[in-house]
Amino acid sequence: MSDNRYKKISWALPWLCISVAGVVFCLVYFKYAYILADAWNFLFRREIKAQSYLAPLGISFITFSAVSYLMDIYRGDEAAGSLLDCALYLSFFPKVVSGPVVLWKDFKKQISVRTQNIDKCVYSLNRIMLGFAKKLILADQFGAFIAGVTFYEGGMDPITTLGTMFAYMLQIYFDFSGYSDIAIGLARLFGFEFKENFNFPYCSKSVSEFWRRWHISLGTWFREYVYIPMGGSRRGKRNTIRNQAVVFLLTGIWHGAGWSYLLWGGINGLFVILERLVADKKAYQKTPNVVKWFLTMTITFIAWQLFRFPDMEDLKLCFGSLFAQYPLTELPYTWKYYFDARIIFLMIVGTLGSTLFGWEKLKIWCKKATSPGIGFLIQELVIFVLFIVAILCMVNSTYSPFIYFQY
């Protein structure tokens, strides 16, 4: 049996490599042609121009789904589906634009055994409404606030700079987690149960833990199809560090065709590797959790600005303003103009919503409080009111596209 399976895999391997290479080539061609041409011109003093094409919608997530389909079949984790099943998996609309990244072996077994009932429908609608509330009430309001703050020639006062940086940190979380809630809720309406994509990442006490809580489906994909095939953590510390470095560099590249994304992936990978190296040290183990949390959030806070400012000159201007390298007397507006009661209230709500509700004891209490009839009715009323407020925000033209639509 093992010999036959080995022969099958040996014959299948070249076809797997060709198929994966063809799928990945499409992604590279549409998304990275410019940066590859720039790198080629810089290294070899040439003048190659990359032709501009509009990338297909959701090409990054479709590519990852296609690789999952091929790899799971090759490894025997799941059987191949029919043409219709494959098309459904690749184009299933809740996940196709911005994820979550669903593995074929998790999707295939649900195609023919989907069930639906009133409890699942209520749960699905609640997730969709909460997702819209996250997006329209919080993420878009933070985005509008950031867009309204201007970097003048004299820079910006440190408080305003710090506030906009923090607002972006909240925006990107509520924007993407809101979309994930909507996608999970829509999928559940059709009987598909997707795994959670976020687990309160701003409660993390290390960068490694952050990546176990942030965009969980992306981390799972890289672990399944890059990290483990390269050897994972089974071949010694040196190879483990190499594998982690490769994964985070690829993570940065996947997010965008620019050096800032590569740097962002490198920063996250560097601290994950450093944490692995010091994990057994007594000094690290004795460090209070609150200190670890603060350091982790500081690293995350700074790294997110590479998403906000892909242009290094803008990033330099931002940090220059943060450390007051510009005379404040020349600024026409300061933090007193930008930070009104509304945005301060929303930032407090966003901070508590992204951290406090990740506390396990509070989760248990909320579950008990909403189990009885009156508690459940109050919960549904609150969610419905939030949804109405979200619709009003959209009507008032504060909606902006989801940030992860560009990836």
Confidence of residue 359 (pLDDT cuts 50, 70, 90): confident
List pLDDT tens digits, range 199-223: 999 999 999 999 999 999 999 999 9
What is the spatial distance between Cα 287 and Cα 322, in angstroms, rounded to a whole number? 28
Amino acid letter for position 172: I
Q: Rounded CA gap, 367 and 379, in Å?
A: 10
Confidence (pLDDT) at 1 = 41
* pLDDT surpassing 60 at residue 329: no
- Burial of 14 (C-beta count, 10 Å sphere; 0-12/13-18/19+): exposed
**What residues contact 372, with CB distance under 8 A and at least 6 apart?**
none
Can you give the pLDDT at residue 32?
Answer: 75
Q: Which residues contact 76 (CB under 8 A, 6 or more apart)?
A: 5
> 254 in helix, strand or coil?
helix
pLDDT band with cut points at 50, 70 and 90 for residue 29: confident
One-letter amino acid of 245: A
Nearest to 139 by CA among 189, 89, 102, 181: 181
Single out the residue of 272, 276, 268 nearest to residue 252, CA to CA: 268
pLDDT at 328 over 60: no
Comparing CA positions, the residue from 96, 88, 93 lying closest to residue 64 is 96
Identify which of 88-97, 152-161, 391-400 has the greatest average pLDDT: 88-97
Find the catalytic residue in 105, 134, 135, 255: 255
pLDDT digits over 88-146, tens only? 999 888 887 777 999 999 999 899 888 888 888 999 999 999 999 999 999 999 998 98
DSSP calls for 315-343: HHHHHHHHTT-S-GGG-S--HHHH--HHH
Q: If we measure between CA atoms, which residue out of 163, 110, 177 comes closest to residue 343?
A: 163
Cα 247 to Cα 340: distance, rounded to the nearest angstrom: 42
215 is catalytic: no
Question: Sign (positive/negative) of CA torsion 393, 394, 399, 404?
Answer: positive
* Short-list 335, 304, 353, 308, CA closest to 135: 353
Mean per-residue pLDDT over the chain, rounded: 84
pTM for the full model? 0.87
